[in-house]
Amino acid sequence: MLSRVLLIGLLALSSTAGAETARARLDAFAKGLQSVSAGFEQTVFDANDKPGKKTSGTLAVQAPRQFRWDVSKPYEQQIVADGMHVWIYDPDLEQVTVRSQSVEEAHSPLTVLTDLAQLDRDFAASEQGEHDGLSWLRLKSKAKEPEFEYADFGFACADAAKKTCGGAVVLQRMLFKDTLGNRTETRFSDWQRNPKLAADRFTFTPPPGVDVIGEVKPGAEVHPLND
């Protein structure tokens, strides 16, 4: 579930546009994006809204479809997408799970990161108005059997003192609700837009002796951010 939440979470990162609606801010975010990095704190709530597991760490994204999600507390976990495959490494379990990145992204809101045209084709997007000081956008899958109920993204001005963003927007929070009623809340911080990221940050080689679950296959789909 964490990997799916990650993929959803990598949708909206940051923006430099002056639009004030959540959808317009998302559209502006994708324009000119080459790389981005941030910190995150994540809390999982059960169907009764009881808080459970909390994690924190860092994330990085490199166009067209490379990303890295590093959990540092309370345990270590790495999720790396190299453009062909998604690798999920749990050092404590000495286990690596690998899957095709194109399959991992199917019917996921992450696909709008690289192709905004897919937003209206694969998802129903609706403005959720202003609350908690943020402008909210909700995505619901159009799939016959969706894997999640909805994903909400809360945008704010980069300068918190301003009521009108005037050109600088960030994603502060993400709310994800699965089909079992569990909810995951992610808070982002320390956004850096278009930082220089080392190429080896998005490669993964299973350490010697770990169990590898899954199969490495060629031919994953990789598209540029702006065709």
Q: Which two tokens stand for residue 147?
A: 């894997």
Position 226 in a domain: no
- Cα–Cα distances (Å) from 137 to 3, 25, 73, in that order, read 21, 10, 29
Looking at the domain assignment, is residue 220 inside a domain?
no
Give the span between the Cα atoms of 89 and 86, in whole angstroms: 10
Would you say residue 78 lies in a domain? yes
Burial status of residue 175 (CB atoms within 10 A of its CB: 0-12, 13-18, 19 or more): middle
Contact 131/148 with Cβ under 8 angstroms? no
Residue 219 in any domain: the answer is no
What pLDDT shows up at residue 221? 43
Is residue 222 included in any domain, yes or no? no
Give me the tens of pLDDT residue by residue for the chain, a chain 227 residues long: 545 544 544 443 434 444 478 887 777 666 677 788 889 999 999 999 999 989 999 988 887 778 899 999 999 999 998 888 999 999 999 999 998 887 556 556 655 654 667 677 888 989 999 889 888 999 898 888 888 899 998 888 777 766 666 557 778 898 989 999 999 999 999 988 889 999 899 999 999 999 999 988 765 444 333 33
Domain assignment present for residue 140? The answer is: yes
Give a yes or no: residue 160 inside a domain: yes
Looking at the structure of the chain, the number of domains it has is 1
Confidence at residue 65, expressed as pLDDT on a 0 to 100 scale:
76
Do the domain assignments include residue 224?
no
Q: Which domain holds residue 84?
A: 2-214
Burial class of 170 by CB neighbour count within 10 A (0 to 12, 13 to 18, 19+): buried
At 210, which CATH number? 2.50.20.10
